[in-house]
Copies of this chain bind each other. A is one copy, B any other.
C-alpha cells in the first residue's frame, strides 16, 4: 500500500492482485518457482537443476503446466481483469 516501498517489498510480500494480465502471469511464474524452492532451498543445486531442465523439452512443458495452474488462481483472484 505504501507506494514507495512497492519495489523492495515485491519479493517479500506475496499478493495475487495485479493491475494487468501480464503482471498476473509474472506472479504465476513466481509461485511456480516458490513451489520448487520450498522443496529445494539450496541455490547452488537449484541453478544446476535449472540449467538441466531448461534444455529438456519435457521439463519445460511441465514447468509451463505449473505456471498455468497458478495462472488460473491469479486470474480468478483478479476477476480475469474484466473491464
CA distance A73 to B29 in the complex (A): 16
The total of chain A residues at the interface (CB under 8 A) is 50
**Whole-angstrom distance between the alpha carbons of A29 and B68 in the complex?**
11
Q: Is the CB of B80 within 8 A of A76?
A: yes
- Interface check A55, CB cutoff 8 A: yes
When C-beta atoms are compared, the residue in chain B nearest to A34 turns out to be B25
Residues of chain B lying within 8 A (CB to CB) of residue A81: 15-16, 77
For A83, give the chain B residue with the smallest CB separation.
B17
CB pair B77 A80 closer than 8 Å: yes
Which A residues are within 8 Å of any B CB, using their own CB? 13-17, 20-22, 25, 29, 31-36, 38-40, 45, 49-50, 52-73, 75-77, 80-82
